């Protein structure tokens, strides 16, 4: 069956927004769709934006539908056949579709969604189509089953046009990217931070990944992995900047290892990361810092230690999308978004982690340890030597 159109449905959360916000989100989503299709060199004849829907006329239906499922704000898409809202033409196209998909002895149902004024009701459409399918394909011994059909033939009538389809591909939903301000994302290259970045994007936040290079406490493979993860994440943000901050952090970590209580190494390390991230947030005019931390995932991520870490960030909120996730849930999402295989590549990781890290660090002790170090100098040097790379 030759499809010539793609129906794009918006995420459910967009539909419940106030009218002004809804229109703004839908307009932004249409813009993101155009950017994505242009980036992938997918040609289309026209893009029609209606309330709650976008209809794309194209000869590249399968490729278009596939690309659209990876755009935030799209709840689902359907390859479809466009026709007029004339009932006879709708029936004709629907019977042709049924002829192509219905198997001998199978059950089917007809569903109709209609918007606009027409000389028929949605029920009229379903009855007439069902009647003609049974009559014209009677040799297949088909039967109607409205509760549990093996196949569903769908019709969407929108003003003067109608669209006939049988398949619906699920999108990622969420809000259109760019509907919320930018966020700084602490990206390690591991499973958790990548998923946290993706979840922030799903809520509409363009991300600016910040990677802390802890050489010589890790290997080059770890650094390469982080950038590969960033590249994969940027596949979900076509049309937005693809820059990553690489911050030299090895000397800072070496100072903590040699000059501070070993059990506080991870706490001190992350507190400086937060402060550097705040400086970058100021430069980038971002509104928050995203991390992949989850309660109890590591010693530094006990609820008590998270409070100690938060105290270091004084200007921007630290946001943790994975706070209540368990590892299996995070891994499943990583597989879905395409970062899992990259994040699980074997690398040396950080060799500076203490054997017995503090799980309940006392803030006053942490601050005392920081007072004995030139923390402000560390921050200034890290920000000054940070590099911006485009991936």
The band of 235, judged by pLDDT with boundaries at 50, 70 and 90, is very high
SS3 233: helix
Q: How far apart are CA 74 and CA 76, in angstroms?
A: 6
Structure tokens at 251: 């000397």
Nearest CA among 230, 187, 222 for reference residue 345: 222
**What is the CATH classification number for the domain harbouring 119?**
3.30.2130.30
Arithmetic mean of pLDDT, 174-181? 97
Q: Tens digit of pLDDT for each residue in 283-299? A: 999 999 999 999 999 88
User: Directed axis angle between helix 265-284 and helix 363-371, to 10°?
Assistant: 80
178 occurs within a structural domain? no
Arithmetic mean of pLDDT, 346-355? 90
- Residue 371 and residue 309 share a domain: yes
> What's residue 1's pLDDT?
75
- Residues 145-148: contacts with CB under 8 Å, at least 24 apart: 145/107, 145/108, 145/109, 146/109, 148/107
> What's residue 11's pLDDT?
86
175 occurs within a structural domain? no
- Residue 267 and residue 161 share a domain: no
Cis peptide, bond prior to residue 39, ω within 30 of zero: no
- Residue 203 and residue 65 share a domain: no
- Residue 255 and residue 163 share a domain: no
**What is the CATH classification number for the domain harbouring 375?**
3.40.50.620
Structure tokens at 331: 């891994």
The band of 349, judged by pLDDT with boundaries at 50, 70 and 90, is confident
Structure tokens at 155: 């019709």
Q: Tens digit of pLDDT for each residue in 370-380? A: 999 999 999 99
Domain count, the chain: 2
- Residue 319 and residue 198 share a domain: yes
Arithmetic mean of pLDDT, 105-109? 96
294 occurs within a structural domain? yes
The count of other CB atoms within 10 Å of the CB of residue 32 is 23
pLDDT above 90: residue 344: yes
Q: Tens digit of pLDDT for each residue in 266-278? A: 999 999 999 999 9
Strand-pairing partners, residue 78, are 7
Phi and psi of 37, rounded to 5°? -65, -40
- Quote the mean pLDDT of the chain: 96
- Given 115, 147, 170, the domain boundary residue is 170
- Residue 164 and residue 198 share a domain: no
Q: How far apart are CA 15 and CA 386, in angstroms?
A: 42
Q: How far apart are CA 209 and CA 187, in angstroms?
A: 6
Strand-pairing partners, residue 8, are 54, 77
Phi and psi of 365, rounded to 5°? -70, -40
337 occurs within a structural domain? yes
Arithmetic mean of pLDDT, 195-220? 97
Q: Sign of the CA dihedral 352, 357, 360, 363?
A: negative
> What's residue 3's pLDDT?
96
- Residue 188 and residue 130 share a domain: no
- Residue 262 and residue 369 share a domain: yes
Q: What is the pTM assigned to this prediction?
A: 0.93
> What's residue 348's pLDDT?
86
- Given 170, 205, 235, the domain boundary residue is 170
- Given 147, 170, 193, the domain boundary residue is 170
Q: By residue range, what is the domain housing residue 94?
A: 5-170
- Residue 161 and residue 22 share a domain: yes
Q: Tens digit of pLDDT for each residue in 122-147? A: 999 999 999 999 999 999 999 999 99
3-class SS letters over 276-325:
HHHHHHHHHCCCCEECCCCCCCCHHHCHHHHHHHHCCCCCCCEECCCCCC
Q: Sign of the CA dihedral 9, 12, 17, 19?
A: positive
Q: How far apart are CA 313 and CA 297, in angstroms?
A: 21
> What's residue 142's pLDDT?
96
């Amino acid at each position: 069956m030759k499809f010539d159109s793609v129906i794009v449905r918006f995420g459910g959360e967009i539909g419940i927004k106030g009218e002004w916000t809804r229109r703004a989100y839908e307009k932004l989503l249409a813009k993101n769709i155009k950017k994505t299709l242009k980036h992938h060199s997918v040609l289309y004849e026209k893009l029609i934006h209606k309330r709650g829907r976008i209809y794309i006329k194209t000869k590249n239906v399968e490729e278009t539908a596939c690309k659209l499922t990876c755009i935030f704000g799209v709840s689902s898409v359907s390859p479809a056949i466009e026709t007029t809202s004339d009932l006879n033409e709708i029936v004709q196209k629907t019977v042709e579709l049924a002829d192509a998909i219905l198997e001998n002895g199978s059950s089917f149902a007809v569903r109709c969604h209609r918007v606009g004024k027409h000389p028929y009701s949605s029920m009229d459409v379903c009855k007439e189509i069902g009647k003609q399918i049974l009559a014209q394909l009677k040799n297949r011994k088909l039967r109607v089953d409205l509760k549990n059909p093996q196949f569903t033939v769908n019709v969407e009538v929108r003003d003067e046009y109608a669209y006939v389809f049988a398949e619906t591909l699920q999108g990622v939903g969420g809000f259109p990217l760019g509907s919320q301000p930018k966020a700084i994302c602490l990206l390690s290259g591991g499973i958790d931070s990548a998923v946290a970045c993706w979840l922030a994007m799903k809520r509409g936040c363009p991300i600016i990944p910040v990677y802390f290079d802890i050489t010589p406490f890790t290997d080059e493979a770890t650094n390469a992995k982080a950038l590969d993860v960033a590249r994969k994440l940027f596949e979900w943000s076509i049309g937005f900047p693809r820059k990553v901050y690489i911050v030299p952090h090895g000397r800072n970590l070496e100072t903590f290892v040699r000059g501070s209580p070993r059990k506080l190494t991870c706490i001190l390390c992350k507190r400086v990361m937060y402060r550097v991230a705040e400086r970058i947030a100021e430069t980038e005019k971002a509104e928050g810092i995203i991390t992949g931390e989850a309660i109890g995932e590591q010693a530094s991520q006990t609820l008590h230690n998270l409070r100690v870490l938060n105290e270091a960030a004084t200007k921007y909120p630290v946001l943790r999308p994975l706070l209540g996730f368990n590892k299996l849930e995070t891994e499943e999402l990583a597989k879905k978004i395409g970062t899992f295989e990259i994040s699980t590549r074997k690398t040396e990781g950080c060799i500076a982690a203490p054997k017995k890290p503090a799980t309940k660090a006392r803030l006053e002790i942490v601050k005392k340890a920081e007072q004995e170090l030139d923390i402000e100098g560390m921050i200034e040097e890290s920000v000054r030597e940070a590099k911006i790379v485009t991936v």
